[in-house]
Amino acid sequence: MKNKDLDNFDFIKSKFDESSFDVPNTLDENEIKKKILSKENHKIVKFENKKRNKIMPIISAAACFAIVLGVIFASNINNSSNSDNPNKIMSFQSYDEISSFTKNLDSSSAETEMGAGYKKIGNYDFDDNKPDIVKTYGNYIFYSYFDSNNDKDRNKIYIYKTDAKEANLVAVLDGFDLDEDFEISNLIISNNKLIVNISGSLEESIIKFYDISNPENPVFISDYKQSGFYVDSKVINGVLYTVSNYYCEDNSIPISGFNGKIQKLSPKDIGYFTDSKYAEYAVISAINIRTLKESSNAKAVIGSFPYIHFSENNIFLFEGEQIYSEDADFVVDKTNDIKNETNIVKIELKADDMKLSDLFKIQGVITNRSLIDEKDGVLRILTISNKNVENDFVSKLYTLDLNLNVLGYIDSDFKESFIDVVYIDNYAYIYTGSENSFVYVVDLSNPKKPLLKSKNNTDKIPDLVVPINDSEVITVSEPEDLDGDEIGLYKISNNGDLILLDNKKMDNVYTQATDDYQSFVFNKEKNHYAMPCYIATEKERQYGVITFEIQNDKIVLSNKFINDDEELMYEGRCVIINDYVYSFDKNDDMPRDKKLSVFSYKY
Distances (CA, A) of 464 to 93, 205, 440: 47, 30, 17
User: Rounded to 10 degrees, what is the CA torsion of 356, 357, 363, 364?
Assistant: -30
pLDDT digits (tens, 9 = 90+) for 477-534: 998 877 999 999 999 999 999 999 999 999 999 999 999 999 999 988 888 999 999 9
For residue 343, the SS3 value is: strand
Q: Answer whether residue 87 shows pLDDT above 70.
A: no
Handedness of CA 562, 567, 570, 575 (dihedral sign): negative
Determine the average pLDDT of the residues in 440-453.
Answer: 96
The answer to whether residue 23 scores a pLDDT higher than 70 is no
Give the residue, 51 or 392, on which the prediction is more confident.
392
- pLDDT higher than 50, residue 81: no
Instruction: State the pLDDT confidence band at 413, using cuts at 50, 70 and 90.
Output: low
In this prediction, residue 151 has a pLDDT band, given cuts at 50, 70 and 90, of confident
Answer positive or negative: Cα dihedral of 79, 80, 81, 84.
Answer: positive
Percentage of the chain surpassing pLDDT 90?
52
- pLDDT value of position 86: 54
Predicted pLDDT at 180: 72
List own/partner pairs for 49-54 with CB under 8 A and 24 or more apart.
49/25, 49/101, 49/274, 50/274, 50/275, 50/276, 51/101, 51/103, 51/104, 51/105, 52/25, 52/97, 52/100, 52/101, 53/100, 53/101, 54/25, 54/26, 54/97, 54/100
Amino acid (one-letter) located at 480: E
Give CA–CA dist 193/189, Å, rounded. Answer: 6
Backbone angles phi, psi at 552, to 5 degrees: 55, 45
In a 13 Å sphere around the CA of 394, the CA atoms on its Cβ side amount to 13
Using pLDDT thresholds of 50, 70 and 90, give the confidence band for residue 434.
Answer: low
Q: What phi-psi label fits residue 453: left (phi over 0), alpha (psi between -120 and 50 degrees) or beta?
A: alpha
pLDDT of residue 70: 34
d(CA 159, CA 140): 7
Of 357, 361, 336, nearest to 348 (Cα)?
A: 357
Q: Picking from 21-30, 257-266, 402-411, 495-504, which range would have the lowest pLDDT averaged per residue?
A: 21-30
Check residue 387 and give its pLDDT.
54
Of residues 331 and 138, more confidence is placed in: 138
Weakest mean pLDDT among 83-92, 209-218, 508-517: 83-92
Of 29-43, 132-146, 305-319, 425-439, the poorest mean pLDDT is in: 29-43
d(CA 538, CA 210): 46
Least confident of 103-107, 195-199, 223-227: 103-107
Determine the average pLDDT of the residues in 456-483: 89
pLDDT in tens, 558-579: 999 999 887 777 889 999 999 9
Q: What is the mean pLDDT of residues 80-100?
A: 73
The Cα–Cα gap between 544 and 572 comes to: 9
Q: In terms of Cα–Cα distance, which of 62, 29, 32 is closest to 47? A: 32
Q: What is the CA radius of gyration of the chain?
A: 27
Give the pLDDT mean for 352-380.
90
Is 477 in a helix, a strand, or coil? strand
Q: Residue 297 to residues 268, 377, 570: CA-CA distances in angstroms?
A: 10, 26, 43
For residue 506, report the phi and psi dihedrals to the nearest 5 degrees.
-110, 100
Residue bearing the bigger pLDDT, 179 or 410: 410
Q: Is 281 exposed, middle or buried (0-12, 13-18, 19+ CB in 10 A)?
A: buried
Going 6 to 12 to 15 to 16, the CA torsion angle's sign is positive
- Tell me the per-residue pLDDT of 230-250, one tens digit each, with 9 for 90 and over: 999 999 999 999 999 998 877
pTM (2 d.p.): 0.81
Mean residue pLDDT of the chain comes to 80
Query: 518: helix, coil or strand?
Result: helix
* Per-residue pLDDT tens over the stretch 251-296: 789 999 999 899 999 999 999 988 777 889 999 999 999 999 999 9
The better pLDDT of the pair 12, 465 is held by: 465
